[in-house]
Structure 1
């Protein structure tokens, strides 16, 4: 029997308008504070609503426009080390991961690459600056995970994590209103990332009743939110609230049970391509569901039968195909149809490094190649 461990926030605020909790938190404990955010946040209504009190509580800010590289993290640390005592991150997964990496490396003496999984040679300690994480997308669940994803596309071509239980943000503020007005493509690709976290954790060889129930709860929230994410009415508000919850539960689920072959491929693809990580996962998810439909693995079959009952309240002879068709039929945009190039050389590079991670089935190179072909024809 596998044993689950849940590592989650010490303090979480959830609900529409919960962004307003940020100012009292900062005022209650005055510290030199650095903000990490995306440029879109600084140009939006949410920032305008708190700009005056927030700016007076900040030492400065850093803009994050993509997945942070080791060099960028090292530059931020060199600029702010010893000056900053707390970090606030407001943005998507890339912003939150960059802030988590900065907070940790500010308290470590060596460059980022020395600590990075896959390539590093040094062990991380628990030392990190306190961090308040406020996601503006519902996808990665980074506000509740212990890892900070770092990507180097320029030199060593690696996408890997800095990871320690103490890197879970001290505070998470989950305000579904921050999702309102985001482009359909962003909403859909982030949401399918959240679903993939939940789904792979549910099917993980490391899973148990506790982690699977967490994943089921998240997938039910995804089902409730997926069709109406972009609506500008009460249904839309409810959908975005459900998806914010799905993303958070996805972070909990992957922390407990790990991920599978989809992320085993997507992580390597992300080391060489600037494609949205959520879209990559969504594109790979659809052919994976076909592999799952053809699987003879008894535990996979049982788990999928149970999942169809939980999500759709029906018994199905082909639960994986049922799920695939429902996701496509209810999507607010057909993200999987936009052509994206992937050369044969790039496919082979990815396959030489990809893996099945925690999957119940050890997927062959041929099966992984087929997934890539279907996702990127």
Structure 2
């Protein structure tokens, strides 16, 4: 294949009954690439994974692997293996029996099954647990057994359906590193479904962000984090603070009209796909500088500065998080120092940390919040109580 595409999804549509979930989706994956399908519940990422695996039949389009059309093939003839969210281990079988089950179905000799299972147990740190049953294992150990069962059949493509969502936070950090390192070591092509953006960022070579059954943006973790293509992507990648501005493109600069909490400001255009009129500006809580209203700034330059008042504070760890009222909006800003509720403050946002998008006439800025950051609102509400 001249373009090195290994898995190709072309004009794929799929759904359940009269509900259309995937809408003519196109995606190409290179051999040995780790791709994360990222999105909130209902965006279509699991339906896409199930269609690739053969558990959901598309209504249109095609799926090819190494130039072989697998669109209508049953799951066991696609050369893929799926690790389920629930692990789906047989409770009456031992670790070794669970891991070797797929090989037994293929009719491999008993000694060959034992050899492969033993090698995988060593690789996954399960060599002393072969005789245990799932009930006697920790969550992380059960996850590795499920991964070993998938790898035992030597799949061309490894499919991962939120396999870490049932693990506690501490174990999840280690297991996601283990999976990523193992995938690189074995050179397996992997498709991973998750709603956790940090998980996608640290594990994947490429992130595919989905929204409404379509691809909103795809690229390297750095690309989608630092150069979001839309307000939706910016919000999903953590830029949840939103401002409604009005601006005019003037050569290589953007003139921002004065508004509640800010004066006339000139920002660099920097090649943004931006026109005159209403602008939705987004930034991350950690991207801004928070200063007392009467304190001189350490640096000037291409910065949007806002005047506001602290409404509440919380301490998620490492930095203080402040809810700041600017005009009629509440913004979240992190700072190494705590500012008391009621304090007058200034928020300074560097131009390169601002994501600017034109707002359609008559529409209001989106308020998308990722599930990963839902705790922020709860913490601030608790601090106000």
Q: What is the TM-score with the length of structure 2 in the denominator?
A: 0.30
Structure with the higher strand share, 1 or 2:
2
More helix by share: 1
> Highest relative contact order (Cα 8 Å, sep 6+), 1 or 2?
1
- Higher Cα radius of gyration: 2
